[in-house]
């Protein structure tokens, strides 16, 4: 049952927490067992957002058991040494909130929103889940069954099918090529013993990041972090050593032949890790190219002027070790080749022609103006706190973001376009009716046709 008073408070978050540049007074503490604690103290509402990041993402999965990190995170609150799964659910209900697990490729995050008066009860439950999970066999079996059902349903989702095929193609042997949730074969292989072993190895207070945002003082934050997480025993940190994927050196086209009325396409290649110094110049460049919604060049030309696509978007997915550049689009089968050609033309134009002063300024204005909206609630701010700490961006990230965007020049935009975009060497994955789309038919390119599994 949702606590009404807590719900009312959440409705006012947008009004009460409206950060401005230079006004994020984040504080940083470290516990005795190695947890980095971050705090933004704001007393406008009697509530606290709690987020915890653990370096236990799918990057640690072995290929035969892809999905292990995902399953482990999903099962954490399904029973501890002190509470059954039902008791945990009942206690969260009594507090009028919930515990959220968000597995990712580089890390997993856990979060909860708590009224200040319930903070210690909530932290007792939160820490019990993190420190004392039991992974009961029946819960493991149930979670695996649910996940297998979810994976089976995804067989009918063209965009998911294309995205997984694209990752396999561009990331080579790097763990990023593996689907976060695994696949039918890998999930069936995973045992309770695998999950327990993964938890014991990967869940470590050393390198963990705990963020508090809300009605809490620095002294309280330190006291609560030590009190509730002190029994989480540190262990040697895992340092992954993964081979970086090779650069794409030719056009690679995969057509997944499926009887659909439209074709979903992903086109791109390897990108950059988050700490690449050109990150901010690429943000500006990509906004102009295809990341700026209806104002982007690709959207204006390919959707608005030529009417070739239903939707189109480009972005750089920058992770810890590497990343990708992707253009995703959906089009009629009969328009697929023309839409692809126009995407490549826009990439060439971005490389070869300077952006206009108006385009440059509009991109900067949007990126700077929208940045505070990423921090306009306690939950968003806690999330960005752990993000900047994980990637080593520094607590001055909030102050310097706008400065770094403002410094980007038209020359920088063209330089990074030439350096990081390649219209001649890329992976293209298309899922649609090939007899109508005829992707690559008139080109001297080998095409892999792949029939998707039927449920």
pLDDT in tens, 64-93: 999 999 999 999 999 999 999 999 999 999
CA distance 297 to 290: 6
The class of domain 251-449 in CATH terms is: alpha beta
CA distance 320 to 47: 32
Is the Cβ–Cβ distance between 128 and 82 less than 8 Å? yes
Only one residue has tokens 């590497």, namely 322
Phi and psi torsions of 129, nearest 5°: -65, -40
**Which range, of 14-18, 109-113, 242-246, averages the lowest pLDDT?**
14-18
**Burial per residue of 70-82, b for 16 or more beta-carbon CB atoms within 10 angstroms, e otherwise:** bbbbbbbbbbbee
Other CB atoms within a 10 A radius of the CB of residue 217 amount to: 13
Q: Please tell me which residue, 31 or 8, carries the higher pLDDT value.
A: 31
Cβ-proximal residues to 89 (8 Å cutoff; 6+ apart), any chain: none
pLDDT tens digit sequence for 326-367: 999 999 999 999 999 999 999 999 999 999 999 999 999 999
Please report the pLDDT score of residue 343 as a whole number: 98
Q: Is the pLDDT reported for residue 454 higher than 50?
A: no
CA distance 396 to 399: 5
Please report the pLDDT score of residue 237 as a whole number: 87
Is the Cβ–Cβ distance between 225 and 210 less than 8 Å? yes
Q: Kindly report the pTM of this predicted structure.
A: 0.91
Is the Cβ–Cβ distance between 211 and 51 less than 8 Å? yes
CATH 3.30.830.10 in the chain is located at 24-229, 251-449
Is the Cβ–Cβ distance between 53 and 390 less than 8 Å? yes
Query: How many Å is the Cα radius of gyration of the chain?
Result: 24
Percent pLDDT > 90 in the chain is 86
Distances (CA, A) of 438 to 28, 272, 433: 56, 32, 8
| Residue 253 Ramachandran class (φ > 0 left, ψ -120 to 50 alpha, else beta) | beta
The class of domain 24-229 in CATH terms is: alpha beta
Q: Is the pLDDT reported for residue 27 higher than 60?
A: yes
């Amino acid at each position: 049952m949702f606590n009404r008073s807590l719900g009312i408070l959440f409705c006012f978050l947008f009004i009460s927490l409206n950060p401005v540049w230079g006004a994020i007074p984040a504080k940083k503490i470290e516990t005795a067992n190695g947890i980095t604690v971050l705090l933004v103290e704001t007393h406008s509402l009697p509530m606290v957002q709690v987020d915890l990041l653990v370096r236990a993402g799918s990057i640690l999965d072995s290929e035969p058991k892809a999905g292990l990190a995902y399953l482990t995170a999903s099962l954490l609150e399904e029973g501890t040494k002190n509470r059954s799964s039902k008791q945990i659910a009942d206690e969260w209900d009594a507090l009028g909130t919930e515990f959220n697990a968000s597995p990712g490729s580089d890390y997993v995050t856990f979060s909860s929103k708590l009224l200040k008066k319930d903070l210690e009860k909530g932290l007792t439950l939160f820490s019990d889940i993190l420190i004392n999970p039991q992974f009961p066999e029946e819960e493991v079996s149930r979670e695996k069954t649910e996940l297998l059902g979810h994976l089976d349903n995804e067989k009918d989702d063209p965009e998911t099918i294309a995205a997984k095929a694209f990752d396999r193609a561009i990331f080579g042997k790097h763990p990023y090529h593996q689907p976060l949730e695994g696949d039918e074969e890998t999930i069936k292989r995973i045992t309770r013993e695998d999950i327990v072993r993964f938890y014991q190895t990967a869940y470590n207070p050393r390198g963990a990041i705990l963020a508090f945002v809300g009605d809490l003082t620095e002294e309280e934050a330190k006291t609560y972090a030590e009190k509730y997480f002190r029994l989480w025993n540190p262990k040697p940190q895992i340092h992954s050593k993964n081979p970086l994927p090779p650069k794409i050196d030719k056009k690679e086209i995969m057509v997944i032949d499926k009887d659909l009325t439209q074709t979903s396409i992903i086109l791109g290649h390897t990108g950059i890790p988050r700490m690449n110094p050109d990150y901010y110049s690429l943000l500006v460049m990509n906004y102009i190219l295809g990341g700026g919604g209806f104002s982007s060049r690709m959207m204006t030309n390919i959707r608005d002027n030529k009417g070739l696509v239903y939707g189109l978007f480009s972005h750089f997915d920058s992770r810890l070790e590497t990343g990708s550049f992707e253009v995703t689009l959906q089009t009629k089968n009969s328009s697929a080749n023309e839409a692809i050609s126009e995407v490549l033309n826009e990439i060439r134009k971005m490389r070869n022609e300077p952006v206009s002063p108006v385009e440059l300024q509009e991109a900067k204005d949007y990126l700077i103006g929208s940045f505070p909206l990423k921090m306009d609630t306690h939950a968003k701010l806690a999330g960005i706190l752990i993000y900047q700490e994980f990637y080593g961006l520094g607590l001055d990230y909030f102050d310097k973001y706008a400065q770094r965007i403002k410094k980007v020049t038209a020359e920088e935009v063209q330089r990074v376009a030439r350096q990081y975009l390649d219209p001649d060497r890329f992976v293209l994955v298309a899922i649609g009716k090939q007899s109508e789309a005829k992707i690559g038919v008139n080109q001297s390119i080998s095409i892999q046709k792949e029939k998707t599994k039927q449920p």
